[in-house]
């Protein structure tokens, strides 16, 4: 059974160490039947190459806001309209702040402003960054606006500390996607 058959997921990848987990998430979403396109922030490309996502999604990963190959250079509008869900995993503290305050200075943040479909974020950062009042305020603001906040998980972090801030595992995120998009159908 493919619970995400005919669903179109735009996976946004931001510049945190957890970006490597997003390749597995892409694979799992596709195994569940979803069509997946990936949009990366420039910082994300320092952690994982766009070619990795092209290999696992079957589509070129997008990084550039202004795409001269897209119709009339408005590829971000076309891509935002294509998606049934925008999932940002990992969502760094920086990206959460930009999203909360309506900034559109790269492809991914622009896509988030140009959609009327659900947006979900999977926070991933150091435990102190997660606990910071600014990050918590940004997440509360996003939640009030209807953005789904999935995570973070608790455990050992890349910095060696233990606490809240880990990106949820791919299988858990995929389950959230199935639950959200299934609920929208019913």
Instruction: Check: CB of residue 124 under 8 Å from CB of residue 162.
Output: no
Instruction: Check: CB of residue 11 under 8 Å from CB of residue 26.
Output: yes
Which entry of 112, 139, 159, 174 is annotated as an active-site residue?
Answer: 159
| Letter string b/e over residues 43-76, b meaning 16 or more CB atoms within 10 A of that residue's CB | bbbebbebebbeebbeeebbbebebeeeeeeebb
Measured CA to CA, the distance from residue 52 to residue 146 in angstroms comes to 31
Where do runs of H (alpha helix) occur along the chain?
21-31, 50-57, 75-82, 93-100, 107-113, 127-131, 133-144, 170-185
| Residue 174: active-site member | no
Catalytic residues: 159
């Amino acid at each position: 059974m493919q619970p995400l058959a005919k669903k179109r997921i735009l996976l946004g990848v931001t510049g945190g160490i957890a970006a490597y987990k997003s390749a597995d998430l892409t694979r799992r979403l596709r195994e569940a039947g979803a069509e997946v396109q990936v949009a990366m922030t420039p910082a994300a490309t320092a952690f994982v190459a766009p070619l990795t996502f092209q290999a696992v999604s079957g589509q070129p990963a997008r990084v550039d806001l202004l795409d001269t190959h897209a119709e009339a250079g408005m590829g971000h509008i076309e891509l935002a309209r294509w998606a049934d869900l925008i999932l940002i995993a990992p969502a760094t503290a920086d990206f959460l702040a930009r999203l909360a305050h309506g900034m559109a200075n790269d492809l991914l943040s622009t896509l988030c402003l140009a959609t009327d479909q659900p947006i979900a974020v999977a926070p991933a950062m150091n435990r102190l960054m997660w606990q910071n009042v600014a990050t918590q305020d940004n997440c509360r603001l996003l939640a009030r606006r209807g953005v789904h906040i999935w995570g973070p998980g608790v455990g050992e972090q890349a910095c060696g500390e233990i606490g809240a801030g880990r990106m949820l595992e791919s299988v858990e995120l995929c389950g959230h996607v199935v639950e959200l998009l299934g609920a929208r159908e019913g």
